[in-house]
Structure 1
Amino acid sequence: MSRGWPALGMVAVLVLSGCGSEVAAGADPDGRRLLKVSDVHEATGMTLLEGPVFTPDGSLLVVDVTAPAGEPKVLTIDVRKRSVKGFLTDASSAWTSAQISPYDGRLYLTDFAAGAIDSISLDGDDPRVFFTGQVDGAVMKPDDLTFDPEGNLYVSDTTGHDEPGGPDQGRIVRIDRDGQEATVLADELPAPNGVSFDATYEGLWISEYSGNRIDRLGLTVGGKAVATQYPAVRVDAGLAQVDSNAVDASGNVYQMFHRQARVMVFGRNGDHLDTIDLPVPDDGDYSATNLAIRPGTKDAYVTVSGPSGGFVYTFRARDRGVRQSNGG
């Protein structure tokens, strides 16, 4: 199945004061603003950047979840030049995350609005609907995704996210790389959001949005079932809630937040290692929802959104970026 998604050729270069993509060596307790990416959209009343992922040529792709039809919904950022241009739009999607498959090299996008997963080539052509429909009798609200080394997808179904006080309805769903088989690995979860493999691909770190905790799902060989499942880290976030996450080469978990402009880093044993504060404008609540650590480097890039628009911030991570660090 396919649909026509127009690629975007317009370029809007936005440069703000701050640092470039090279971050000084050593400890970096505070993030720094790299550039402004988007303004608040008049049609939707907000902007929400998500799903940062580096392409093989070094470009950083991000999605703007609330961009209206015809405006850039996927954008390309040159982190060295601090410039941004539109990459992709369509009429109806609300893409919430992006990842590049190790199997076919295509960009995969979770469409929260349609309950679908789309894909497109990194050249911006050959758009496809990779997966849609019910899984065990219910349509997903796919938020984040990650891939195993063979290219199978693991998706957070955040059903229940918009129903505070209701029963836990969220799920973790595995979809084979051909899109033919979808399996519920875990259910009755409190609106799972972030999903990342650990450094050895033996299990998943799941950020529970409505539970403010990070769960550990140990997988069986082949990743087709859950062997162990338990809360691993309880996060003290006040009025904020946990959002997406990522893992570096040492297995450290980087936890992002809705309504909080910071990153918390936990060791694989649950130790709180770092808090990276992001200096956002003092005009309301900002969310630091997702990040990517550029593979092979310690350069981390965070999507931040709030009343003044959408931004990318940068800081030095504890260890190198790997596939689990890149998008989600």
Structure 2
Amino acid sequence: MRRITIRVLAGLAAAGMLTLTGCGTQPAATADGEPAATAGRTITAERLARLTRPHEETGMTLLEGPLLDERGRLLVVDVTAPAGEPKVIRVDVERGRGTPFHTDDRGAYTSAQFSPHDGRIYLTDYAHGEIVSLAPGGGDRRVFFTGEVDGAPMNPDDLAFDREGHLYVSDSRGLTEGTAEGRLVRIDRNGEKATVLAEDLAAPNGISFDEEYRGLWFSELTENRVSYLRLDAQGEAASRHTAIRVDGGIAQTDSIAVDAEGNLYQGLHGRPAMAVYDRHGARLATVEVPARHKGLESATNVAITPGGTRAYMTVSGPAGGYVYTFDALGQGIRQSNGG
């Protein structure tokens, strides 16, 4: 992939940094002395590991798609890694060390997720319009889906699985042109049928089921908004509405994760921070990296330990690609582990 293409991809794939006003370190109090929600709460994340430096070939690095396996080991993708360098990295979260997990000479991967159907790791290749899968231990790369959907090629960014293993993908078509041509696409678990659930979207990026699998939260990068798509019993679109408007300033909305309480963790591109909302759209907290940590420009996504609250956030910039940790507001579930 040429350098300019990778740069454009990074601006697209890393979507979302949300600038929030009125932040303090302590929650406000109500008239009766009880804490008022947690509207002013700031959570400071701690640095766990530096995994990458900017690549000479692409001029940058961009970590995404954090994913925990059954043994608690973390996987992350490096969107801009050139051929031959690790495109998927395994992280020992106890030691804070990364080791190569997968590389190839083609993919520009923007997300990762385990399938509940076959247990394989699925990766979205934004640059080539493909979804590929790997064996749980790495290797055995297979192209799961490629080609046009309703007469147009895809730029798949993030993905989510339903309980049966069908895929729901954010297709960021139109990003580089600045046109609202994006879509949400459902692909059956055999890769044989693709259906457009929503279209004319402004560079959709983050996508996640809610905690009860009733619908999908998705973000639009160039509109800085999060919408909710309710699904029917067949997994088709039933209704759609704008749920949260993000005042991002120079930052834009990236990937989304959802915890067991239904809280949304909205990744940010343009600021190394993450905004946390409840299911009703109230902002609960902002996750920040320490101000003294310079050279960081995005916090793209997060994985929360299944059944626990330890969270792993991917953070990148000219200083390199890092993993930071913090305590999430709710326990981790499938919707907060990859995608």
TM-score normalised to the size of structure 1?
0.89
* Structure 1 residue 285 displacement after superposition: 5.2
Aligned residues: 299
Query: Alignment identity in percent?
Result: 56
Aligned residue identity for 2:197:
L
Q: Which residue of 1 aligns with 2:237?
A: 226
Q: Residues 205 and 255 of structure 2 are in contact (CA less than 8 Å); yes or no, is this contact kept in structure 1?
A: yes
Aligned residue identity for 1:203:
G
Q: Which residue of 2 aligns with 1:20?
A: none
How do 1:83-94 and structure 2 match up within 5 A?
A: 83-94=97-108
Aligned residues: CA RMSD: 1.2
- Equivalent of 1:311 in 292, 305, 322: 322
Aligned residue identity for 2:331:
R
Q: Which residue of 2 aligns with 1:184?
A: 196
Query: Per the alignment, do residues 104 and 45 of structure 1 end up closer, same or farther by CA in structure 2, a change over 3 Å counting?
Result: same
Aligned residue identity for 2:175:
H
Q: Which residue of 2 aligns with 1:289?
A: 300
- Equivalent of 2:85 in 71, 80, 85: 71
Any idea what the Cα deviations from partners look like across 1:20-44, whole Å, max 9, x if unmatched?
A: xxxxxxx872111111010110111
- Equivalent of 2:151 in 137, 160, 176: 137
How do 1:112-131 and structure 2 match up within 5 A?
A: 112-131=126-145
Query: Per the alignment, do residues 296 and 247 of structure 1 end up closer, same or farther by CA in structure 2, a change over 3 Å counting?
Result: same
SS at match of 1:29: strand
Q: Which residue of 1 aligns with 2:257?
A: 246
Q: Which residue of 1 aligns with 2:11?
A: none
2: CA distance, partners of 1:144 / 1:48: 14
Runs of 4+ in 1 over 4 A off after TM superposition: 280-285
SS at match of 2:335: helix
Q: Which residue of 2 aligns with 1:215?
A: 227
Instruction: Please list every run of 5 or more consecutive structure 1 residues that lacks an aligned counterpart in the other structure.
Output: 1-26
Instruction: Please list every run of 5 or more consecutive structure 2 residues that lacks an aligned counterpart in the other structure.
Output: 1-40
Q: Which residue of 2 aligns with 1:265?
A: 276
Aligned residue identity for 1:233:
I
Any idea what the Cα deviations from partners look like across 1:218-237, whole Å, max 9, x if unmatched?
A: 001121x2111010000111
Q: Which residue of 2 aligns with 1:199?
A: 211
Q: Residues 296 and 319 of structure 2 are in contact (CA less than 8 Å); yes or no, is this contact kept in structure 1?
A: no
2: CA distance, partners of 1:28 / 1:316: 12
- Equivalent of 1:163 in 142, 158, 177: 177
SS at match of 1:324: helix
1: CA distance, partners of 2:198 / 2:88: 30
How do 1:43-54 and structure 2 match up within 5 A?
A: 43-54=57-68
2: CA distance, partners of 1:121 / 1:302: 24
2: CA distance, partners of 1:183 / 1:319: 33
Q: Which residue of 2 aligns with 1:5?
A: none
TM-score normalised to the size of structure 2?
0.86
Q: Which residue of 1 aligns with 2:167?
A: 153
